[in-house]
A and B are shown apart, each in its own frame.
Chain A
Amino acid sequence: MTDAVSAGGGESAREDAVWRWLMLAPAGLLLALFSVLPVVNLFALSFLNITWKDGRSTMSAAGLAHYLALPADNLFRAGLANTLVFALFAVLGQLLLGFFLALLTSRIRRGAILYRTIFILPILIPGIVIGAIWKLMYNPDFGLINQTFGLVGLGPFDWLKSADTALMSVIIVDVWHWTPFCFLLFLAGLESLPQDVYEAAELDGATWLQELLYVTLPMMAPTILVTMAFRLIVAFKVFDEVYLLTSGGPGTSTEVISFTIYQRFFTEDRAGYGSAMSVVVIFITALLLVLALAARRRRESAT
C-alpha cells in the first residue's frame, strides 16, 4: 500500500513537472526569441565583416580581429573610462540624495504626497526635454546657473563646452534625472521597516544618528544594494544625456561607451566591429549585476 502510494506520488510529481514545463514553454520560447536570439545574433555578427555591393550584403569571417582591435581604439578606451567615472559618481550622488530625501519624506506627516510628487517629477520628464532644460540651464549667456553665479560676481562659465567641467555637468544632470528612482525605492524600503525596532532603540536612548547608523542603514542594506545594482546598470548604458548635451566632446571628455557604439555601429556602419564592442559592454554590465547579486547573497548569508 505504502509502495503504491509512493509510486502514485512519484508519478504525480512527474506529471506536475511536465505540466510546469509545458506551461512555462510559451513564455520561455518568447524569451528565447526576443531576448536570447538577438544577443546570439549580435555575438555571431561580432566575428564577421559586412560589405555591400550591387545592393546586396556580403559577409566574410573576421575571426577575433574586432575584439583584438578594441584595446587600441582610442574612442573605446575613453568611452570605457568615462563611463566608469560617470556611473560611479552619478550613482553615488543618486544614492546619497535619494536616501536623504526618502528619510526626510518618511518622517513628514503632513503634505507627504505633495513632497513625493515633487521629488519624482524629474523621472517623469522625457529625455529630450531634459536635454533642452539643462542645455538652457547651462547656457553661458542666459542660463539660470550662470545667472546665479553672476549674482556673486562669478562666471560666466561654459559648463558643457569646457573639457574640465563637461563630464561633471552631465553627471549632475543624471543625478537630477535619476535620484527620484532611488528615492522611490528607498522610501518604500523605509516605510516597510518594522517599527518595534525603532521603539526599542528609542527606549534604549539611541540618538537620531545612532538610530540611522545602527538600525536604519543595516536594515536598508538589501534595498540599497539592489537600487545600486539597478542604477549602475542603467548608468552604464547612458546615451541620451550625452548625445543631447555634449555629443561626447569636447575632445573625449564626455565620451561614453554607448555613444562610442552608436558611432562605430551606426555612423560608421561597422556592424561587425560595433557588435564586438556591444558584446563586451553586455559582458561588463552582466558582470556588474553578478557582483551586486553576489554581494547581496553574501550579506544575506552573513545575517
Chain B
Amino acid sequence: MKSIILNRRAALGAGAMLALGAYSARAQSKLPPITIVINQSPWFASFRQTVELYEKETGAKVNLDVNPFAGSLEKQRNSVRAASGQYDVLIMNSGWFAEMYAGGFVEAITDIDPGFKLDKDVYTLGDTVYYDPAKKVMTPAGKLMSMPISPLIPLLYYRGDLYKRDGLKTPETFAELEANARKLHSPPKMFGIVQRGARGPHTVAYDFYPYLYGHGGGIFKDQAAADYSVTLNDEKGRAALDYYIRLAREAGHPKTAAFDQTEVIQQMVTGQAGHIMMVIAAWSQMDDPTKSAVVDKVEFAPTPHVAGVPTSPGLGHWLGGISKNVPDDRKRAAVEFFRWFQTAQAQTASAKLGAIPISAAAYRDPISEERRFRWMKPMADSLKHAVNIYQFPEASEVIAILELGLNRAIAGEITSVAALNGMADEIHAVMAKHNYKTGKAAPLK
C-alpha cells in the first residue's frame, strides 16, 4: 500500500485549501436562491441534472421555471418589462437574445462582477455572447452579456448500419446526401430523409438554414457590416429551396410540411428514417433503449454543403442572460452559477449527463473517444463553422415570414420562386420599417 507522507508545508497548504473550500461552500450557501426561466427542450433534462449538481456541490438553490418554447419567450418578455423582474436568469434562444440585448433587458455579466472572466475554452458562438450597445453589433469589443448554455447546431444523423450494409460513404456534399437518401428510400417503411417542415415559432426556418447557407446563400448580404440587403431570393437561395423540396418529395416523407421536431425524432428512433438533420440535443434519445429501436445504429456528421462552401449549420443555441430588473444579490448569485457552469469539470460532468458542452475542454476530454459520445468530434468540427443567423432585435418578425413562406412552398401551396420573392419583399419591408440599411435583389423568374 502506498503511504502518503505529509510534511509541515504540505499540511499547512492542505489546511488552507480545505479552509478556502469550506469558506467557498459557506459563501455559496449564503447566496440567495435564483430563478431560471427555461424552455422544455430535448436538452432540458441534462440541464436540470447539471443544476442539481451545482446545488449539491455548492449548497446554492436554483429554481427552474420550465415552459414550452413560445411560452418561455412570453414569460421572459413579461418579466423583463415589469418594474421588478421575476426571473434572474433568462435562457434565451438564438431567435430572441438580440431583442433582450438591444431592449436593455439584460445586464452585462462584467457590469455585475468586473472580475468575471469568460473561460478561454468556452465557445463564444459567433461572438453572440458579446454586445456593443452603441454600435448595435456583437463583437468581442462589446460587453460580455451572456453565458452559453447549450451550443445547439444541427448535425446530420444517419443510419450507420444501413450505410455499412449498402456500402455507402458518409455524405459531405448535398449531392452525396441526396444519392444516399434515394438509395435508402423505401416508403412507407423507410424514408430516405425526414425533414422538419412544419410552421412554428422557429421550426422550418431553422431546418432550412443548413441548406441555405450550405449552398452559399443567406438571408442578408452582410450583417456584420450592418448591410441588411436581402439576398434570400438569389440563385443560391433558389437552389437551396428547390433542393430541400425535391429531397422532401422524392426521398423524404409525404407529410414533411406538417412535421415538427418531435415527429422527425420519432421517425428516426422508430427506424423509419435513413437521415435527419437535427439539432444535436436529440443525440441521447438515439441510444436510449426505452425510446429507440436504433440503439447504436445512428452515426453523426457535419451537415452537408456544396463544393467550395463549408458546412454551415445555423446557430440555434441558447444563452443565459441576467435580468437587469432583479435585486443585486440575486444578480451576483446568478454570476456565481455561471462561474461554476463554465468550468471544464462542470462541462465534462454535464456532457456525461447528456448535455452538449459549451467548452472545448469537454470535447478534448477522453469521454469524446467513447462510443456513446461519437457525436462530439463532428460537433467540434461543425461548431467553428456555425452561422449566427440574426443580429438584430426584430428577428422574430423575419422568422415569422420565413416560417410561413417556407412552409407554404414545402406544402405545395406556392412555388419556390413565389415563396422566395414573397419572403424577400416582406423581409425587406421589415428591415426598411426599422430603418436598417437594406435593399433587395431583382425578383427571381
Contacts and interface: CB of A to CB of B under 8 A. Distances in A.
A158 interface: yes
A53 B257 contact: no
Interface in A75-103: 75
Interface string A157-195: 010111100100000000000000000000000000000
Interface in B48-75: 70, 73-74
Nearest to A54: B104
B199 A248 contact: yes
A267 B407 contact: no
A55 B201 CA distance: 24
B54 to A, nearest CB: 28
B325 interface: yes
B353 interface: no
A55 B411 CA distance: 40
Contacts of B139: none
B84 to A, nearest CB: 12
B422 interface: yes
A247 interface: yes
A270 B400 CA distance: 12
A163 B104 contact: no
Chain B contact-residue range equals 20 to 34
Given A55-B325, A161-B259, A162-B255, A250 B81 contact: no
A249 B405 CA distance: 12
| Interface of chain B: mostly helix, strand, loop or mixed | helix
A155 to B, nearest CB: 12
A246 B259 CA distance: 10
A247 B257 CA distance: 12
A267 B70 contact: yes
B104 A249 contact: no
Interface string B64-101: 00000010011001001100000000000000000100
A6 B23 CA distance: 93
Nearest to A53: B104
Given A53-B104, A161-B258, A250 B400 contact: no
Given A55-B104, A55-B324, A158-B255, A250 B396 contact: no
B413 A269 contact: no
Contact of A247 (B80, B102, B198): B198
A77 B125 CA distance: 39
Contacts of A266: 70, 74
A223 B250 CA distance: 54
A52 B198 contact: no
Contacts of B99: 52, 269
Interface residues of A, number: 29
Given A163-B257, A163-B413, A267-B396, A250 B74 contact: no
Nearest to B400: A268
A161 B411 CA distance: 10
A253 B73 contact: no
A161 B257 CA distance: 8
Contacts of A251: 199, 257, 407-408, 411-413
A128 to B, nearest CB: 12
A148 interface: no
A249 B258 contact: yes
B136 to A, nearest CB: 11
A74 interface: yes
A210 interface: no
A66 B281 CA distance: 39
Contact of B257 (A54, A55, A74, A250): A250
A162 B400 CA distance: 21
B411 A249 contact: yes
Contacts of A248: 199
B397 interface: yes
Given A75-B404, A251-B413, A267-B396, A160 B102 contact: no
A222 B105 CA distance: 55
Contacts of B198: 247, 249-250
B200 interface: yes
Nearest to B103: A52
A38 B16 CA distance: 64
Contacts of B258: 158, 160-162, 166, 246, 249-250
18 contacts: A53-B102, A53-B103, A53-B104, A55-B104, A160-B258, A161-B257, A162-B258, A163-B412, A247-B198, A247-B199, A249-B198, A249-B407, A250-B199, A250-B255, A250-B411, A251-B199, A251-B411, A252-B408
Interface of A: 52-57, 74-75, 158, 160-163, 166, 246-253, 263-264, 266-270
Please provide the 10 A-B residue pairs with the shortest distance between their CB atoms, ordered closest to farther: A161-B258, A251-B411, A54-B104, A52-B103, A250-B257, A250-B258, A161-B255, A55-B104, A251-B413, A250-B411
Interface of B: 70, 73-74, 77, 80-81, 99, 102-105, 198-201, 255, 257-259, 324-325, 393, 396-397, 400, 404, 407-408, 411-413, 422
Given A53-B102, A247-B199, A269-B77, 13 more contacts: A53-B103, A54-B103, A55-B81, A55-B325, A57-B81, A158-B255, A163-B413, A249-B257, A250-B199, A250-B407, A251-B408, A253-B411, A268-B397
